[in-house]
A and B are shown apart, each in its own frame.
Chain A
Amino acid sequence: MADTTGRAASATNEIEIKRLSKVFWQGDAAFRALDEVTIGIRSGEFFTLLGPSGCGKTTLLRLIAGFEQPSAGEVIINGRQVAGLGPNARPVNTVFQNYALFPHMTVADNIGFGLRMLGKSAAVVRETTGRMLELVRMEAMAARKPSEISGGQQQRVALARALAPQPRVLLLDEPLSALDLKLRKEMQSELKRLQTETGITFVFVTHDQHEALTMSDRIAVMSGGRILQSGSPADIYNHPAERFVADFIGDTNFLDVEIVAVNGRAADVRLPGGGTRRASLPEGLSPSAGTNVTIVIRPEHASITDEAADFEGTVEDAVFFGTDTHVHLRLPGESRFTLRRQNTGAGAVALPEGSRVGVRVAEGGIQVLRN
């Protein structure tokens, strides 16, 4: 709101969202669908909003697209305040979850719609539509109606329609959720290819962690109308800052431990076996020695060892998964621990139930949580 010139502070951010809130009123009861969300989305990146159903992903997209007006806060696109601008005045296009293709128009007319509304000449519309049809490999279906093509094809048409006016930003609201697994995998790489080819900033919504991890340059994890953490997929996966993030993405071991010493962004923590190990601290957290915190250890960051074990556990069972085996352990103090062993050869040591094994955590495999 201090920004009176209309220019954003950071030129590299395509979208700047500042303390954005959206309140829905149901009679007298207020519901906060978005709660002071602040995030910058960089130019040309594949940015993913990841979170469970009802966490506010669609609401955030709608505020960016202009279908809804915020209750508070601001949206800046390409350095311009867009408050009060309708969807047709924003350089942003949307791929809707249900595709929302115009049923009374052909595939080609659907794709050309945006360009026609922008007042482009018939020649430009025809040429661009042709290029878009080629891009999504739908040349053969140009004259069909949306009801005459398959779900995956409708999806591609919706994508082409949104890309045709060459928006600065493409908003995609769970565009793959209606597709079956095989088609979804295909479309994932297709989307990634389109994003790299066009260089358009993608804001992609999903509640599928694998989709988010494999496709994104950066991910923002949302819950209850807030962004809990944002960063690269590896960053989010390896260094979750909150319990929710750790739990939502991947399999996780939570252990309650004591801080022994703190130095900078790292801390020494006392593991169940009594030994101390180095752990990473989340941003903004500097606990003092002696306090109790929760740490996260990913199952594949721990291994069974005979020497220099960090702690010991009793095998409850070992489940064979083909490429790896999940070993479930009981630790002293009744806590549970799961680790994952790569099945590298046929001669892996058997782990009978009740046997005691030593566990070693890989370097950098311990992350302290904020809560």
Chain B
Amino acid sequence: MARARRNFSITALPGFASIAVLTFVLLYVPIATLVVFSFNEAASMSRWQGFSLQWYQAAFDNSQVREVSIRALWLAVTASAIATFAATLAALATTRTPKFPGQTMIYALVNQPLMVPEVVTGTALLIFFAGIKMQTGYTGMGYLVAAHSAFCIPFAYLPIRARLQTMDLTLERAAADLYANHFQTFRYVTLPLLLPGVLAGFMLGFVISLDTVVITEFVKSAGQDTLATYMLGQIRRTVTPEMNAIATLFLLLSAVVVVLFFILSRKRP
């Protein structure tokens, strides 16, 4: 008894195993079902009739799916790149400069999308962009790019900042001591060491942009559906395994990116 108490372990609590199993079932059974039925021969979501790739074929043949997929990927790459760039600058400013007034404020501002509900941000953007649309008449992808970029910044910022904080400051001092100017110090010392953090930030931003429905729904103009909003629209009408196939591919892409993210953020400087 005494021994058990000394080596307290949460796994020893009664019911731990059943709760754990239940959690995993709730998390993964729906996903597993989705994946399995994407390979179903029939159009049914409840009856398995045999293996087939026909729904993948259908998805690839669907020009609308192709169009929204390309748009979503393009948007995710662009927005995440912009967000990563801005997040890198913000992280440098909040870790590499002496404390300045308003630093905490900037930290809060950068992380605003994490704290404000998406519907609020979405509504605000809708109203704000509507004004600009009225004034300029511009209805292109710029609004979505801007909205996604802003939304992705905190997700890119956090891993980059974490990386910078663990980096030895004397390395940058040493570079300056060896006649490197600010830019050279950044280019040859800080950036190479920061790169895993930057890539991790980019990937996180990429996944977030690919995934976000609410912001996109509020901001997009006609004909600017992304994969996420397109699927939402389809599912409202009829559910076919074609959606399963798209979702499975989507899942695969996210999984690959997330795994890469973990590998990169684990790598120590």
Residue of B nearest to A158 (CB): B174
Contacts A98-B170, A103-B269 given; does A165 touch B193 at CB 8 Å: no
Any B CB within 8 A of the CB of A30: no
* Chain A contacts with B in 163-187, Cβ cutoff 8 A: 165
Q: B179 contacts A114, CB within 8 Å?
A: yes
Q: B168 contacts A104, CB within 8 Å?
A: no
* Chain B contacts with A in 171-199, Cβ cutoff 8 A: 171, 173-181, 184, 188-189, 192-193
Tally of chain A residues near chain B (CB < 8 A): 23
Chain A residues positioned under 8 Å from B189 (CB to CB): 102
Residue of A nearest to B176 (CB): A87
A101 to chain B, nearest CB (A): 8
Chain B residues positioned under 8 Å from A88 (CB to CB): 176-181
Chain B residues positioned under 8 Å from A83 (CB to CB): none
Chain A residues positioned under 8 Å from B179 (CB to CB): 88, 114, 117-118, 165
Write out, one digit per residue, whether chain A residues 55-72 have a CB within 8 A of any chain B CB (1) or not (0). Answer: 000000000011100000
Distance in angstroms between the alpha carbons of A107 and B171 in the assembled complex? 15
Any B CB within 8 A of the CB of A161: yes
Distance in angstroms between the alpha carbons of A290 and B174 in the assembled complex? 56
Q: A165 contacts B173, CB within 8 Å?
A: no
Distance in angstroms between the alpha carbons of A96 and B168 in the assembled complex? 12
B195 to chain A, nearest CB (A): 9
- Beyond the given A87-B176, A88-B176, A104-B193, please list 5 additional residue pairs across the A-B interface where CB-CB is below 8 A: A94-B174, A96-B173, A102-B174, A117-B175, A162-B177
Write out, one digit per residue, whether chain A residues 80-94 have a CB within 8 A of any chain B CB (1) or not (0). Answer: 000000111000111
Q: A94 contacts B177, CB within 8 Å?
A: yes
Tally of chain B residues near chain A (CB < 8 A): 18
Distance in angstroms between the alpha carbons of A103 and B192 in the assembled complex? 10
Output the residue of B173, B174, B180 with the most chain A CB within 10 A: B174
Any B CB within 8 A of the CB of A113: yes
Distance in angstroms between the alpha carbons of A67 and B98 in the assembled complex? 13
Residue of A nearest to B169 (CB): A100
Chain A residues positioned under 8 Å from B173 (CB to CB): 67, 87, 94, 96, 100
Chain B residues positioned under 8 Å from A102 (CB to CB): 171, 174-175, 189
Distance in angstroms between the alpha carbons of A102 and B178 in the assembled complex? 12
Chain A residues positioned under 8 Å from B170 (CB to CB): 96, 98, 100
B95 to chain A, nearest CB (A): 17
B183 to chain A, nearest CB (A): 11
Distance in angstroms between the alpha carbons of A67 and B188 in the assembled complex? 19
Q: B174 contacts A96, CB within 8 Å?
A: yes
Distance in angstroms between the alpha carbons of A103 and B174 in the assembled complex? 12
A120 to chain B, nearest CB (A): 10
Q: A161 contacts B178, CB within 8 Å?
A: yes
Q: B193 contacts A100, CB within 8 Å?
A: no
Chain B residues positioned under 8 Å from A117 (CB to CB): 175, 178-181, 184
Distance in angstroms between the alpha carbons of A94 and B184 in the assembled complex? 18
Write out, one digit per residue, whether chain A residues 301-329 have a CB within 8 A of any chain B CB (1) or not (0). Answer: 00000000000000000000000000000
Chain B residues positioned under 8 Å from A162 (CB to CB): 177-178
